[in-house]
């Protein structure tokens, strides 16, 4: 039976499922006992499962993440929560030099199966230090899996799959999606290695690629284009590392046009990775137009609401760029 829930409630239901079903699961991070710090995505978990398993930590991103990596090597299934992905940067050694490397260095005999949740917070005049989307950084690192759910179902299912994976996983969710509602099926555990990009709308004139909130933007744009008899195929990336571009390549061979929307900076961003992966794998002449890469320009986020309106890619801007393709 399907149940209608929000994106944030889907994340909460994943935590409840894991903590109930797997006693090895523990959660640690800042503000986890707070009614507002991580929205309602972790509401009352400490009351239901105890403060020894849902641990509200001091402000020490490096220490908490290192502790979780060590706990995973000792057999625990830890989930670290960074309420702002910006401050995961304090934990880069534990993530990049430890979690991502141990299995490789130990010949697969040690697997730090830690899940690190980073939350993207943007808008609301939060400024340069509190508004970053750093998924491209982590996607660059071999040994890390990186997931970014867009759909309500994926918000729940990808978190469960991440925690059950033997690999370290960076799970990135976006507060701009927290109120999104949809119906979900009963939980079914899925091996993370079997999950990749997904076609969320079929089309024949244009391939639109996004991840997380950018997928929502792509679907909104596709709806407007459809009213003008332009049918865009929308692909949700879901898993950024390891990245499997095969569905995107197949789609582009059909539509012969490609637009990638990314919520991070354009410079060295994931949009460039998508485009290069396609261009390297289609025959010369397949694309009717140059691919379009849409992202944030190379500047820190502003602290002004007026400037935020022009800083982040808007539906109007995306449509204007697509119309340059002559569709």
CATH assignment of the domain containing 24: 3.40.50.970
Q: Are residues 213 and 187 part of one domain? A: no
Q: What is the model's pLDDT at position 326? A: 83
If asked whether residues 184 and 211 sit together in one domain, one would say no
Same domain, 219 and 188: no
Angle between helices 152-164 and 7-21 (to 10 degrees): 30
Cα of first residue to Cα of last residue in the chain, in angstroms, is 42
Give the per-residue pLDDT at 236: 98
- pLDDT attached to residue 1: 82
pLDDT at 62 over 80: yes
Q: How far apart are CA 43 and CA 23, in angstroms?
A: 19
Q: Which of 100-104, 121-125, 281-285 has the lowest mean pLDDT?
A: 121-125
How confident is the model over 257-271, as a mean pLDDT?
96
Q: Predicted confidence band at 150 (pLDDT cuts at 50, 70, 90)?
A: very high
Query: Is the same domain home to 185 and 260?
Result: no
Residue 201, Cβ density class (10 Å: 0-12 exposed, 13-18 middle, ≥19 buried)? middle
Question: With 80 as the cut, is the pLDDT of residue 36 above it?
Answer: no
Query: Is residue 233 over pLDDT 90?
Result: yes
Residue 206 above 80 pLDDT? yes
Q: In sequence order, what are the residues at sequence separation of 6 or more whose Cβ sits closer than 8 angstroms to the Cβ of residue 201?
A: 219, 222, 232, 233, 234
Residues 181 and 249 in one domain: no
Antiparallel, parallel or unpaired: β 206-210 and 198-201: unpaired
CA angle 220-224-225, nearest 5°?
A: 115
Query: Does the pLDDT at position 190 exceed 90?
Result: yes
74 lies in the same domain as 165 = yes
Summarize the confidence of residues 293-317 as an average pLDDT.
92
What does the DSSP 8-state code read for residue 312? Answer: S
Residue written as token pair 């799970």: 171
Check residue 130 and give its pLDDT.
87
Q: What is the pLDDT of residue 129?
A: 86
d(CA 172, CA 83): 10
Say what the pLDDT of residue 212 is: 97
Q: Is the peptide bond before 137 cis (omega within 30 degrees of 0)?
A: no
Q: Are 173 and 233 contained in the same domain?
A: no
**Domain ranges, residue 171:** 3-192
What pLDDT shows up at residue 324? Answer: 85
> Three-class SS of residue 181?
strand
pLDDT, average across residues 145-154:
98
- CATH number for the domain including 268? 3.40.50.920
Percent of the chain topping pLDDT 70: 100
Confidence at residue 244, expressed as pLDDT on a 0 to 100 scale: 97
pLDDT tops 90 at residue 104:
yes
Q: How confident is the model at residue 122 (pLDDT cuts 50, 70, 90)?
A: confident
pLDDT at residue 69 in the model: 97
Domain count, the chain: 2
Tell me the two tokens of residue 320: 């204007």
- Same domain for 36 and 169, yes or no, is yes
Q: Quick check: helix, strand or coil at residue 30?
A: coil
pLDDT in tens, 266-286: 999 999 999 999 999 999 999
Strands of the sheet containing 232-236, edge to edge, are 198-201, 232-236, 206-210, 258-265, 292-296
Confidence of residue 322 (pLDDT cuts 50, 70, 90): very high
The answer on 241 and 207 residing in a single domain is yes
Q: Give the integer Cα–Cα distance in Å for 150 and 90.
A: 26
For residues 110 and 212, state if they share a domain: no
* Tokens 């994106």, residue located: 7
Task: Single out the residue of 242, 327, 315 nearest to residue 289, CA to CA.
Answer: 327
- Over the chain, what is the mean pLDDT? 95
CB atoms within 10 A of CB 67: 18
For the chain, what percentages of helix, strand and coil (3-state, to nearest 5) are there?
40, 20, 40
* Closest residue by Cα to residue 269 from 127, 128, 140, 95: 140
Mean pLDDT, rounded, for 138-150: 98
Pair 167, 205 in one domain? no
Mean pLDDT over 234-252 rounds to 98
Between 327 and 316, whose confidence is greater? 316
End position of a domain, from candidates 192, 213, 229: 192
pLDDT digits (tens, 9 = 90+) for 72-85: 999 999 999 999 99
| For residue 35, pLDDT beyond 80 | no
The residue out of 136, 170, 192 marking a domain boundary is 192
DSSP 54-111: EEE--S-HHHHHHHHHHHHHTT-EEEEEESSGGGGGGGHIIIIIIITTHHHHTTTS--
């Amino acid at each position: 039976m399907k149940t209608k829930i929000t994106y944030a409630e889907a994340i909460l239901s994943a935590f409840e499922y894991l903590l109930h079903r797997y006693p090895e699961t523990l959660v640690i991070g800042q503000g986890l006992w707070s009614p507002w710090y991580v929205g309602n995505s972790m509401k009352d978990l400490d009351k239901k499962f105890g403060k020894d398993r849902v641990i509200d930590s001091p402000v020490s991103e490096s220490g908490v993440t290192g502790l979780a990596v060590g706990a995973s090597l000792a057999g625990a299934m830890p989930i670290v929560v960074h309420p702002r992905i910006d401050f995961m940067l304090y934990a880069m050694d534990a993530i990049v030099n430890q979690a991502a490397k141990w299995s490789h260095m130990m010949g697969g005999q040690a697997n730090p199966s830690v899940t690190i949740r980073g939350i993207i917070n943007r808008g609301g005049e939060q400024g340069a230090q509190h508004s970053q989307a750093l998924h491209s950084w982590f996607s660059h690192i071999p040994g890390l899996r990186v997931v970014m759910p867009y759909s309500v179902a994926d918000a729940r299912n990808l978190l469960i799959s991440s925690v059950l994976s033997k690999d370290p996983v960076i799970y990135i969710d976006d507060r701009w999606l927290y109120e999104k509602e949809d119906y979900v099926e009963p939980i079914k555990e899925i091996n993370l290695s079997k999950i990749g990009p997904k076609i969320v709308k079929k089309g024949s004139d244009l391939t639109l690629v996004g991840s997380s909130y950018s997928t929502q933007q792509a679907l909104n744009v596709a709806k407007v284009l459809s009213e003008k008899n332009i049918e865009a195929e929308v692909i949700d990336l879901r898993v950024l590392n390891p990245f499997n571009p095969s569905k995107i390549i197949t789609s582009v061979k059909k539509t012969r046009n490609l637009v990638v929307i990314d919520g991070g900076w354009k410079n060295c961003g994931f949009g460039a990775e998508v485009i290069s992966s396609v261009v390297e794998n289609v025959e010369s002449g397949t694309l009717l137009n140059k691919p379009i890469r849409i992202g944030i320009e190379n500047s820190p986020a502003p602290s002004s609401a007026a400037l935020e309106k022009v800083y982040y890619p808007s539906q109007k801007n995306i449509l204007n760029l697509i119309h340059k393709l002559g569709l």
